[in-house]
């Protein structure tokens, strides 16, 4: 089993490396001439030449790649093309904000989702189950900005309970933060709770179709015990996978939510900088998002391996 | 009511109705829309009236008509991308399962790698430097999405390939193409159809999200996502304008999901106590 | 009839079923009737065997006795009186309370019925403890005592293992212990030895019988094997399509069956013990396997130095238990698994080890028929497509000619001509197997490899298939390589036999010779493990085993 875990770790590192290669290719190789891609309409022969020099385009691609990667591992992502400041300095506070929002949402969503999912599985076919099924099917279908704007219009603007813009700064006190970011957190929670709850329910029900569950029924055990003691341990692996998957999704969904609520996080930064063709910032944001995503997936896989009883107690 | 011998639930009926209406609107937009989508017909942000059911937008254009034309762009684009992604994913997925060996290993590793990276971020990165012309958009998203189709197609095919009738075909001396099209494909249609629905939803939402963030469909073309983006500021003045296109997106996705959910439920039966 | 001491069996009726009726009901409407007006009375200490082919309703009866039915099934008629309570009249909660302490179930597949996430001891004691019948410590010591009674290895520690760490036969006995811990009044055995090898089956049967006798529990023993039920049941009920055909004392049913169906079942079983008449000898072998060895990647050898020959018109049976390598042999001969050593020659020509290196004609001349009819045919294809494809593929005939040939083959298989447009998924198991045979014949082969072709079929249906195969051999002169684990079939159909154990051939030659003394020890073990219809059989085998216990154990362990 240890071998499997190490295997997975190695794979994770490899994936991260591949992601960085792809990001680099995507931003610097694909457009052909990077300088004109950045300068677009404002390009003149002189500005193009200067830009090429600044970017170090006279050096071969693989060299540039390793220099970039090396720098990134040390926290040096270069300077922003838009305002000349150090990229890491720009990004750090934004990253902290995004992490705060994501963690806030995760802490609320995960226990809620698993609890609801288990409850729906125990009362399968009942009114509660069918209602929850339909509601979550609807929630996962809608785009985040729909939910977000719905909340803004009716809760923030019409009712005035929460602010419609989530503007925080580095010295906003903790409790105020929780209040200001409540709506964006709620939006994220609504989406991922639905996903995780459905998958928890589906995993538990799928395990419930196993023969050893029929055996448990024939032993006369209570339904709640069957679900919790017999089904859940075997459903853990897929549930963990789904939770991790959704946490990884949070990283991506946060981009849209930040944009709607104008929240100063990494996602919003990336959106802004993309339209300015600020390549170093886009690269850095891309790399950080990808790394977090890959890390979470890897943890999910490893936890899945650890929770498989056949692997924990080999013959 | 029944289709092909299976009973339709309430939600499935609602879903089918939604899908049919949307397809109809998308196909016949020019005949249905009361006004042109690009011509201003009044003051900006005029309130809803008998003539303009949803009011006018930021440039004085009829919101309802824009919504109707937007259906074409949103649905049409998503269908093209899903079809392309499906084509790529199914052919590669089936081939990997049937040919096996190093071809399967190679393709699976590449796909695993691509899948472990966040699609939105990737699309972002690529589109930010390549620009969002429609062909670029279509090809980029189709390729990224085909990885998910590959996974499903391959796993469906692997299950079918493990059944003896495929081995029987191999023993006969049948070639790879025959096995894929005549042995595997006919048995793979139910799960593939459900997956098509899911992929469509995902692509549809994805395009809309990209447009909302400014990287998807570019003006003067308009899809529902970019409409949400254009109208977003109005929400602070109490107008529900961005909710209309966002709501349209939501409704169609819900409809398709209802239908897919019903299809998947037919194919899996759980266990429980009888009377 | 097992000689149960009369002190253990009294007239106290523990279970009284009257007119039980179970039907299938889905959203689509009413389905088939699974159990139709079945009645029986089970007395304390008695064992009633429920016997029948698949679809007879025996499992359904067993489960319904506990007040449980599978999805879409409903008990719609009759009374099921347990003690003083009618199980149909009480609530689900009350029914639940009965399961475990009063009525316990032993399932067909122990491997599937144990939760892989918990230890054996936890699961064995669970019912007794949760129902409040015993305290945890009490339950544990009762469990260990039962393990010992059931002759399980390391009874004190086996409970701390997980299900996947224990073998199939042992797991089945642990399941029996699990059922017995709470000392129920009734045990329901649902085909508990069907999935086991013949040699393991003997141990389990002996263990179950001992358990029932020592605790004086009443039992319903469900099986499709008449010989097995003869060892353990006092009375036997024969079921068919949900209806009771005959019900009486074991000895009477076995020796003097009254009903026609029962007679056919009994005769079937006995017929399995007669030898096939000698076939004509012809000189050149159509298939020659010389010192072939093979293994799966990175695994030890599955087949080691195997040789055999099949001549024109021969039926050579390859017999062995699971792990013997017989199915792998078929894969090596056809080229699906390339051989590592040795030679396979067809009609004198050496066949390339790999399937894809062989010519189309080489592939045509040897065909294969599979065990499971449901997966051997493409469910989406019609009979015309299934049977017609080899004709079109190998002989390049026109559409008309293909159709004519398919009709001809259907007639040979005794299948109606109008089936030609039906999809294979619409056929029954026996019909599908006929289609498989037709498909093989469509290629006009000289050799057909039959891989356990009757194992998944009911006894009587299987018998028809065997008769069909024999008839075809007589008409067409095709040779068979018949892979099976069932010795009765071997005696019925094969003139030559090859016995395999753990990848090696331990005996081969004419069937009559191999199955007559002096035997190779393993052959003797196999032959003696096949249950016979005499109720004394089990005692005899156990006595013989005890005498040669060490030798038997060594035999099964040594490579």
pLDDT for the residue numbered C272: 59
Domain count, chain C: 2
Q: Work out the pLDDT band at C9, boundaries 50, 70, 90.
A: very low
Give B-chain residues touching C69 at CB under 8 angstroms.
273-275
Spatial CB neighbours of A84, under 8 Å, sequence gap ≥ 6: none
Judge if C220 and C295 occupy the same domain: no
Rounded to a whole number, what is the distance in Å from the CA of B246 to chain A's nearest CA?
Answer: 5
Backbone angles phi, psi at C222, to 5 degrees: -100, 130
Give the span between the Cα atoms of C134 and C559, in whole angstroms: 45
Mean pLDDT of B171-176: 89
Q: Work out the pLDDT band at C3, boundaries 50, 70, 90.
A: very low
Give the span between the Cα atoms of C208 and C150, in whole angstroms: 8
- The H or E element that residue C62 is part of is helix C58-65
Give the span between the Cα atoms of C210 and B205, in whole angstroms: 66
Closest CB to C115 among A218, A230, A315? A230
Res A313 pLDDT > 90: no
Letter string b/e over residues B207-235, b meaning 16 or more CB atoms within 10 A of that residue's CB: bbbbbbbbbbbeeeebbbbbbbbbbbebb
Give Dmax over CA atoms of chain A in angstroms: 84
pLDDT for the residue numbered C545: 76
Is residue C31 a part of any domain in this protein?
no
What is the tens place of the pLDDT at every residue in A68-90?
788 777 777 777 766 777 888 88
What is the pLDDT of chain C when averaged over all its residues?
Answer: 87
Bridge partners for C499 per DSSP = C319, C507
Judge if C248 and C150 occupy the same domain: yes
Mean pLDDT of B248-268: 85
Q: Which of C214, C239, C269 is the last residue of a domain?
A: C269
pLDDT for the residue numbered A228: 83
Spatial CB neighbours of A120, under 8 Å, sequence gap ≥ 6: A128, A129, A132, A133, A197, A201
Backbone angles phi, psi at C350, to 5 degrees: -75, 130
Whether A210 and C112 lie within 8 Å, measured CB to CB: yes
- Which residues of A lie closer than 8 Å to C, measured between beta carbons? 210-212, 214-222, 225, 229-230, 233-234, 309-310, 313-315
Mean pLDDT of B176-200: 88
Give the span between the Cα atoms of A19 and B48, in whole angstroms: 49
What is the tens place of the pLDDT at every residue in C483-501?
998 888 888 888 899 999 9
Res B63 pLDDT > 70: yes
Res A310 pLDDT > 80: no
Judge if C187 and C335 occupy the same domain: no
Whether C113 and A211 lie within 8 Å, measured CB to CB: yes
Whether C113 and A309 lie within 8 Å, measured CB to CB: no
Backbone angles phi, psi at A20, to 5 degrees: -65, -35
Greater pLDDT, B109 or B153: B153
Alpha helices in C259-350 (DSSP H): 260-271, 326-334
Give B-chain residues touching C368 at CB under 8 angstroms.
168, 171
Spatial CB neighbours of C278, under 8 Å, sequence gap ≥ 6: C495, C510, C512
- Rounded to the nearest 10 degrees, what angle do helices A232-261 and B185-212 cross at? 30
Mean pLDDT of B199-222: 84
Chain A nearest-CA residue for C188: A218
Residue pair C388/C394 in contact by the 8 Å Cβ criterion: no
Judge if C505 and C425 occupy the same domain: yes
Res B133 pLDDT > 70: yes
pLDDT for the residue numbered B83: 95
Give the span between the Cα atoms of A199 and A189, in whole angstroms: 15
Mean pLDDT of C55-80: 87
Q: Work out the pLDDT band at C438, boundaries 50, 70, 90.
A: very high
Closest CB to A220 among C98, C116, C162? C98
Judge if C330 and C264 occupy the same domain: no
Spatial CB neighbours of C544, under 8 Å, sequence gap ≥ 6: C528
Judge if C255 and C311 occupy the same domain: no
The second-level CATH assignment, the architecture, of B2-37+53-269 is Orthogonal Bundle (1.10)
Mean pLDDT of B181-206: 88
Whether A15 and B205 lie within 8 Å, measured CB to CB: no
For residue C321, the SS3 value is coil
Sheet with strand C341-346: strands edge to edge: C301-311, C285-295, C341-346, C349-350
Q: How far is CA C470 from CA A45, B174, C7, C477, C493, in A?
A: 90, 29, 52, 10, 7
Res C201 pLDDT > 50: yes
CATH label of the domain that carries residue C325: 3.40.50.300
Judge if C179 and C230 occupy the same domain: yes
Give Dmax over CA atoms of chain B in angstroms: 74
Q: Which of A153-157, B81-85, C106-110, C372-376 has the highest mean pLDDT?
A: B81-85
Is residue C259 a part of any domain in this protein?
yes
Res C8 pLDDT > 50: no
Is residue C73 a part of any domain in this protein?
no
Res C6 pLDDT > 50: no
What is the tens place of the pLDDT at every residue in C33-53?
889 999 999 998 899 999 988
pLDDT for the residue numbered B271: 33
Chain C nearest-CA residue for B176: C356
Bridge partners for C246 per DSSP = C238
Mean pLDDT of B78-97: 92
Whether B228 and A149 lie within 8 Å, measured CB to CB: yes
What is the pLDDT of chain A when averaged over all its residues?
Answer: 81
Rounded to a whole number, what is the distance in Å from the CA of C97 to chain A's nearest CA?
Answer: 6
- Say if B238 is an interface residue toward chain A (CB within 8 Å): yes
Judge if C211 and C296 occupy the same domain: no
What is the tens place of the pLDDT at every residue in B24-44?
988 888 888 888 777 788 777
Number of C-beta neighbours around residue A189 at 10 A: 21
Judge if C514 and C414 occupy the same domain: yes
Mean pLDDT of C254-280: 74
pLDDT for the residue numbered C235: 93
Sheet with strand C103-106: strands edge to edge: C103-106, C186-190, C218-223, C47-52, C235-240, C243-249
Q: Work out the pLDDT band at B274, boundaries 50, 70, 90.
A: very low
Q: Work out the pLDDT band at B18, boundaries 50, 70, 90.
A: very high
Whether A15 and B11 lie within 8 Å, measured CB to CB: no
Q: A52-66, B129-143, C137-151, C161-175: which range is least confident on average?
A: A52-66
- Where in the sequence is the domain holding C512, given as residue range(s)? 287-531
Q: Work out the pLDDT band at C198, boundaries 50, 70, 90.
A: confident
pLDDT for the residue numbered B272: 36
Residue pair C287/C349 in contact by the 8 Å Cβ criterion: no
Chain B nearest-CA residue for C92: B275
Is residue C1 a part of any domain in this protein?
no
Each domain of chain B, given as residue ranges in start order, spans: 2-37+53-269
Give the span between the Cα atoms of C146 and C175, in whole angstroms: 11
Whether B270 and A274 lie within 8 Å, measured CB to CB: no
Mean pLDDT of A273-301: 80
Greater pLDDT, A270 or C364: C364
Give A-chain residues touching C68 at CB under 8 angstroms.
217-218
Mean pLDDT of C267-290: 71
Is residue C281 a part of any domain in this protein?
no
What is the tens place of the pLDDT at every residue in C497-550?
999 998 999 999 888 888 888 788 888 888 888 888 777 888 888 887 777 766
Give C-chain residues touching A314 at CB under 8 angstroms.
165
Judge if C384 and C519 occupy the same domain: yes
Chain C nearest-CA residue for B171: C363
Bridge partners for A31 per DSSP = none
Q: How far is CA C268 from CA B275, C254, C328, C492, in A?
A: 38, 12, 30, 11
Sign of CA dihedral C58, C59, C64, C65: positive
pLDDT for the residue numbered C343: 92
Judge if C265 and C291 occupy the same domain: no
Is residue C70 a part of any domain in this protein?
no
Is residue C253 a part of any domain in this protein?
yes
pLDDT for the residue numbered B5: 61
Indicate the Cα dihedral angle C142, C143, C149, C152, nearest 10°.
-160
Whether A205 and B270 lie within 8 Å, measured CB to CB: yes
The candidate with the shortest Cα–Cα distance to B245, out of B13, B14, B54, is B54
pLDDT for the residue numbered B273: 41
Token pair, residue C473, equals 């051999």
Greater pLDDT, C59 or C323: C59
Judge if C109 and C230 occupy the same domain: yes
Res C19 pLDDT > 50: yes
Q: What is the pTM of this model?
A: 0.76
Whether A313 and C165 lie within 8 Å, measured CB to CB: yes
Give A-chain residues touching B212 at CB under 8 angstroms.
143, 145, 256, 259
Give the span between the Cα atoms of C552 and B83, in whole angstroms: 64
pLDDT for the residue numbered C557: 62
* pLDDT more than 70, % of chain C: 93
The candidate with the shortest Cα–Cα distance to C525, out of C203, C223, C151, is C203
Is residue C536 a part of any domain in this protein?
no
β C29-43/C301-311 pair status = unpaired
């Amino acid at each position: 089993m240890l071998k499997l875990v190490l295997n997975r770790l190695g794979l994770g590192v490899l994936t991260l490396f591949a992601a960085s290669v792809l990001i680099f290719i995507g931003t610097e190789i694909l457009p052909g001439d990077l300088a004109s891609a950045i300068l677009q309409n404002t390009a003149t022969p002189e500005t193009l030449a200067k830009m090429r020099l600044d970017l170090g385009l006279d050096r071969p691609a693989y060299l540039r790649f390793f220099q970039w990667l090396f720098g990134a591992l040390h926290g040096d992502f270069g300077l922003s093309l838009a305002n000349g400041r150090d990229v890491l300095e720009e990004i750090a506070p934004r990253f902290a904000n995004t992490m705060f929002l994501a963690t806030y949402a995760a802490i609320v969503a995960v226990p809620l989702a698993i609890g609801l999912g288990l409850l729906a599985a125990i009362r399968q076919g009942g009114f509660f189950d069918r209602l929850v099924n339909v509601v979550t099917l609807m929630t996962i279908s809608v785009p985040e900005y729909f939910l977000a704007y719905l909340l803004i219009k009716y809760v923030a603007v019409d009712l005035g309970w929460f602010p419609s813009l989530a503007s925080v700064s580095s010295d906003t006190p903790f409790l105020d933060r929780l209040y200001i970011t409540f709506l964006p957190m709620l939006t994220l929670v609504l989406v991922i709770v639905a996903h995780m709850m459905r998958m928890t329910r589906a995993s538990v029900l799928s395990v419930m179709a196993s023969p050893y569950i029929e055996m448990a029924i024939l032993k006369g055990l209570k339904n709640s015990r069957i679900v919790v003691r017999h089904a859940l341990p075997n459903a853990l692996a897929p549930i963990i996978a789904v939770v991790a998957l959704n946490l990884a999704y949070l990283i991506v969904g946060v981009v849209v939510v930040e944009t709607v609520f104008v929240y100063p996080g990494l996602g919003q930064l990336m959106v802004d900088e993309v339209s300015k063709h600020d390549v170093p910032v886009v690269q850095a944001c891309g790399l950080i998002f990808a790394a977090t995503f890959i890390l979470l997936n890897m943890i999910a896989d490893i936890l899945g391996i650890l929770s498989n009883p056949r692997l924990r107690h080999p013959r | 009511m029944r289709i092909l011998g299976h009973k339709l639930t309430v939600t499935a009926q609602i879903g089918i109705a939604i899908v049919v209406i949307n397809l109809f609107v998308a196909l016949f937009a020019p005949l249905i829309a009361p006004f042109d989508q690009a011509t201003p017909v009044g003051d900006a942000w005029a309130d809803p009236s008998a003539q303009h059911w949803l009011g006018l937008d930021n440039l004085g254009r009829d919101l309802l008509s824009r919504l109707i034309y937007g259906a074409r762009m949103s649905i049409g684009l998503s269908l093209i991308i899903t079809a392309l992604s499906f084509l790529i994913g199914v052919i590669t997925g089936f081939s990997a399962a049937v040919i096996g060996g190093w071809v399967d290993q190679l393709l699976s590793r590449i796909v695993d790698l691509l899948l472990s990276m966040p699609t939105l971020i990737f699309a972002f990165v690529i589109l930010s430097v390549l620009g969002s012309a429609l062909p670029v958009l279509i090809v980029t998203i189709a390729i990224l999405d085909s990885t998910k189709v590959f996974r499903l197609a391959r796993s469906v095919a692997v299950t079918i390939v493990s059944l003896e009738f495929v081995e029987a075909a191999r023993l006969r001396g049948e070639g790879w193409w025959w096995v894929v099209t005549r042995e595997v494909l006919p048995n793979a249609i139910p799960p593939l159809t459900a997956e098509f629905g899911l992929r469509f939803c995902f692509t549809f939402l994805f395009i809309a999200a990209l447009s909302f963030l400014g990287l998807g469909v570019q003006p003067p073309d308009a899809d529902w996502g970019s409409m949400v983006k254009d109208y977003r500021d109005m929400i602070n003045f109490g107008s529900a304008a961005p909710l209309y296109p966002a709501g349209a997106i939501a409704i169609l996705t819900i409809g398709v999901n209802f239908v897919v959910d019903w299809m998947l439920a037919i194919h899996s039966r759980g266990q429980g106590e009888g009377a | 009839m097992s000689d149960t001491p009369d002190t253990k069996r009294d007239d106290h009726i523990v279970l009284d079923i009257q007119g039980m009726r179970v039907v299938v009901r889905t959203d689509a409407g009413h389905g088939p009737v699974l159990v139709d007006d079945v009645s029986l009375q089970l007395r304390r200490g008695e064992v009633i065997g429920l016997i029948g082919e698949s679809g007879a309703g025996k499992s359904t009866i067993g489960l319904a006795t506990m007040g449980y039915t599978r999805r879409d099934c409903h008990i719609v008629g009759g009374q099921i009186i347990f003690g003083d309570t009618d199980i149909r009249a009480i609530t689900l909660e009350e029914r639940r309370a009965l399961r475990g302490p009063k009525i316990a179930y032993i399932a067909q597949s122990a491997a599937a019925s144990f939760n892989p996430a918990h230890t054996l001891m936890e699961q064995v004691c669970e019912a007794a403890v949760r129902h409040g019948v015993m305290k945890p410590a009490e339950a544990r010591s009762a469990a260990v005592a039962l393990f010992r009674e059931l002759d399980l290895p390391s009874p004190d520690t086996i409970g701390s293992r997980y299900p996947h760490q224990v073998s199939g036969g042992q797991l089945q006995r642990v399941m029996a212990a699990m059922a017995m811990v709470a000392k129920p009044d009734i045990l329901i055995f649902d085909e508990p030895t069907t999935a086991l090898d013949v040699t393991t089956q003997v141990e389990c049967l002996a263990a179950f019988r001992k358990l029932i006798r020592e605790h004086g529990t009443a039992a319903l023993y469900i099986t499709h094997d008449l010989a097995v039920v003869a060892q353990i049941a006092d009375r036997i009920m024969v079921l068919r399509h949900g209806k009771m055909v005959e019900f009486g004392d074991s000895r009477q049913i076995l020796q003097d069956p009254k009903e026609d169906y029962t007679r056919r079942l009994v005769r079937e079983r006995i017929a399995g013990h007669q030898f096939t008449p000698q076939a004509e000898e012809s000189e050149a072998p159509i298939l020659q396997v010389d010192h072939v060895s093979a293994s799966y990647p990175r695994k030890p050898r599955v087949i080691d130095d195997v040789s055999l020959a099949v001549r024109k018109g021969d039926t050579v049976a390859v017999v062995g238990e699971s792990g013997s390598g017989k199915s792998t042999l078929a894969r090596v001969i056809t080229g699906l698994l390339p051989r590592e050593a040795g030679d396979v020659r067809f009609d004198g020509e050496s066949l390339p080890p790999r399937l894809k290196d062989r010519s189309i004609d080489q592939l045509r001349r040897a065909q294969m028929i599979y065990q499971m009819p449901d997966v051997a045919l493409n469910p989406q294809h019609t009979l015309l497509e299934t049977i017609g494809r080899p004709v079109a593929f190998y002989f390049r005939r026109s559409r008309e000619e293909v159709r004519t040939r398919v009709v001809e083959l259907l007639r040979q298989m005794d299948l109606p001509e109008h089936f030609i447009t039906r999809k294979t998924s619409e056929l029954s198991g026996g019909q599908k197997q006929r289609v498989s045979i037709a498909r093989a014949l469509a290629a006009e082969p000289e050799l057909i490899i039959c891989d356990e072709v009757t194992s998944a079929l009911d006894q009587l249906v299987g018998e028809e298939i065997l008769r069909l195969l024999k008839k075809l051999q007589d008409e067409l002169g095709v040779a068979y390589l018949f892979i099976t684990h069932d010795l009765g079939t071997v005696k019925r159909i094969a003139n030559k036999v090859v016995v395999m154990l753990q990848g090696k051939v331990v005996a081969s030659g004419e069937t009559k010779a191999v199955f007559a003394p002096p035997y190779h020890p393993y052959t003797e073990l196999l032959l003696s493990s096949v249950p016979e219809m005499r109720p004394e059989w089990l005692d005899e085998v156990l006595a013989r085993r005890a005498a040669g216990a060490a030798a038997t154990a060594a035999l099964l362990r040594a490579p």
